[in-house]
Amino acid sequence: MTKTSIIVAICLMLALNIAAETKVHIVYLGERQHDHPDSVTESHHQMLWSILGSKEAAHDSMVYSYRHGFSAFAAKLTDSQVIQLSELPEVIHVIRERFYELQTTRTWDYLKHTSRHPKNLLNQTNMGDKVIIGVVDSGIWPESESFSDKGLGPIPKRWKGSCDSKQSFNGSTVCNRKLIGAKYFISGLINGADESNWNTTENPEYISPRDFNGHGTHVAATAAGSFVPDASYLALGRGTARGGAPRARIAMYKACWHLASIGTATCSAADMLKAIDEAIHDGVDVLSISTSFPIPLFPEVDAQDAMAVGAFHAVAKGIPVVCSGGNAGPASQTVTNTAPWIITVAATTQDRSFPTLITLGNNITIVGQALYQGPDMDFTGLVYPEGPGASNETFSGVCEDLAKNPARIIKEKIVLCFTKSTDYGTLIQAASDVFNLDGYGVIVARNPGYQLNPCDGFPCLAVDYELGTDILFYIRSTRSPVAKIQPTRTLVGLPVATKVATFSSRGPSSISPAILKPDIAAPGVNILAATSPNDTFYDRGFSMKSGTSMSTPVVAGIVALLKSLHPHWSPAAIRSAIVTTAWRTDPSGEPIFADGSNRKLADPFDYGGGVVNSEKAAKPGLVYDMGVNDYVLYLCSVGYTDSSITRLVRKKTVCGNPKPSVLDLNLPSITIPNLAKEVTITRTVTNVGPVGSVYKAVIEAPMGVNVNVTPSALVFNAKTRKLSFKVRVVTNHRVNTGYYFGSLTWTDSVHNVVIPLSVRTQILQRYYDEN
């Protein structure tokens, strides 16, 4: 080969390397190998330098250095560079960037979480005054009254965070003694590009901690909003708005960004991981994260699940992490954020509804649900688009197809349509289509779905299929059907029943079915809280939103108060307290149903332990505690390698042979997904109540299953705070079954410490194992 051809070949190779496409990847190294954060970052640059060939290239490639809670970095890498890094012995995983989805005055009265009694949780903790709640979300609107610092004392001295100042957000003026931290993270989303290149015309956003779409503002206000008197939404009643821990301090970590192209917010895994890392460093006491990634799930400590990895390191440092369970219900096995160190939250309705009366021409009145505050409508023509028309005309009573109907059919009428969707967007689109065809209102028949939003003053109502069919039969029974609609009323208390929301994701966990998920439920439907003025449904500073995104901060606020009351409790102890004391009926004593295709009584896969009960959780009597060593045993039981666990926890780890049983993880629940004949399970409880307590076991066995507890009584004293017991579970079924449910209660006549039992018999599984 000639000298010239060699030079040409080298140039071609360089050009190909430059042209190779780079994508953001997260290089996960586990626990920090250096105490000082600067040394951790320097080790990351050196690793990149060894692969990329120069210090400058390493600097340009680096997006984030995760250096506080754990060791990892995000960098722009080509496929070949990813392969080289993956082969380094100190690297656990290198994974491509992923994206997460973002998933109330009455709430606290409904949960009986009030300050009316002098010795209740709110008063005992001064409403969370010294607690710091970190919120990872879409930012914050700091001017909201919900973030007023009136009456608050100085910022806790241990706080190490700060407020960024960038576009439309001056941290030195908008942060205060309430909003004590505000940071933003966007490099992962934009693939490490210069953030100044963001086109705010095509994609309106604030490149700062300021919230564009209102989601983060709503979540932060629900968790820890200050008292705002005379709050209301669309004049549907007035009251004092506040968060669950109204004097707690808030630190916002903006990692979710509104994208006009998809009409919602998205959150990059690299940005989420950096937000959690910074929150650990800054000194938050609790993390509230209302995002989730859809199934299929990744292993809990695989860096491809940034949420689980970040949460592991936070929990290892004593910070409870509260996450949304997802909005993919009512299908089973859709729950996300399923790692056993995360508190996973489901969503329920509360005892408030918005009845809107529809009177038909035959004087029958039907109750729909809406947020309509317009004038009373007189009797007006009512139509369901169907029947023969001209050859070039389409008649359709399907809500998604209303725009295809001739205008003459819709004009000046109330329109009935049917849809299979429970998404509130379908209702809004149907209202828009009818409005554009000069109609006067729309009634949408659908499966139960409790998310309601106004339609800009246009009457848009939801009914179930049964009521929709009643209206349809009336329309077909007369030549000139008519109806009138009255403005929405607000109904609070009985007879409004509590239900697990249709959208709330259900268990069992698709990755580790022996880990009960969700853990707990809280109101997440039509939650009133502060929002951004850019919110489509903004009304005088507030809006109503629904989702497990809304139920998560309800629990986070309560967890913050428990952390204040019991500062030395572990995250697992706090989780145990809220699970074992939860309501399994609604606060009025009525059964809780789970909405879906078929309404049924709720079970642990719908709501975990039940609906959160803050007052009982403050004094649970016993707790099922866990620490890092317990989670290590869990990782061994599900097959994580010794070397990966060692790097994760920074301690030499060798999993036993045989592996420990996942069923023995000290959870406040027992879930047996594959019971062939019998199994014996161990649990340990810690007495956090009176020293001389004596507890007796009360068993509610699942159908067709025998359950025995040994010993049947637990006697505590000054020297004995922890006691273990064994649970023997035997199936009487001779065929494969679905899950049957029961409970195990330890009671001392004052405290009832309840854990759910979920058992599935799998005879066929035993046959395959033995043959």
Residue positions annotated with a catalytic role: 137, 215, 549
Long-range contacts (CB closer than 8 Å, 24 or more residues apart) made by 427-430: 427/399, 427/453, 427/455, 427/460, 427/462, 428/453, 428/455, 428/460, 429/399, 429/400, 430/399, 430/400, 430/402, 430/460
Show the tokens assigned to 9. Answer: 């070949």
Task: Identify which of 482, 485, 397, 403 has the alpha carbon closest to the alpha carbon of residue 437.
Answer: 403
Task: Identify which of 317, 297, 288, 211 has the alpha carbon closest to the alpha carbon of residue 256.
Answer: 211
| Distance, CA of 568 to CA of 561 (rounded, Å) | 13
Task: Identify which of 503, 216, 505, 179 has the alpha carbon closest to the alpha carbon of residue 335.
Answer: 505
| Distance, CA of 458 to CA of 515 (rounded, Å) | 46
Say if residue 79 is exposed, middle or buried (CB neighbours under 10 Å; 0-12, 13-18, 19+). exposed
| Distance, CA of 354 to CA of 487 (rounded, Å) | 10
Residue with tokens 């017991």: 725
Name the amino acid, one letter, at 23.
Answer: K
Phi, psi dihedrals of residue 529, rounded to the nearest 5°: -160, 175
Say if residue 320 is exposed, middle or buried (CB neighbours under 10 Å; 0-12, 13-18, 19+). buried
| Distance, CA of 44 to CA of 131 (rounded, Å) | 33
Cβ–Cβ < 8 Å for 483, 383: no
Task: Identify which of 155, 182, 178, 180 has the alpha carbon closest to the alpha carbon of residue 168.
Answer: 182
What are 358's strand-pairing partners? Answer: 366, 485
Cβ–Cβ < 8 Å for 231, 239: yes
Say if residue 302 is exposed, middle or buried (CB neighbours under 10 Å; 0-12, 13-18, 19+). middle
| Distance, CA of 270 to CA of 90 (rounded, Å) | 20
Residue with tokens 């990634």: 293
Rg (CA), the chain: 28
Q: CB under 8 Å to 562, separation ≥6 — which residues? A: 121, 569, 574, 577, 578, 614, 617, 618
Cβ–Cβ < 8 Å for 138, 211: yes
| Beta-strand relationship, 441-445 and 460-463 | parallel
Helix (H) or strand (E) segment spanning residue 686: strand 678-687
Using the Cα atoms of residue 188, residue 193, residue 198 and residue 203 in order, give the sign of their dihedral: negative
What are 426's strand-pairing partners? Answer: none
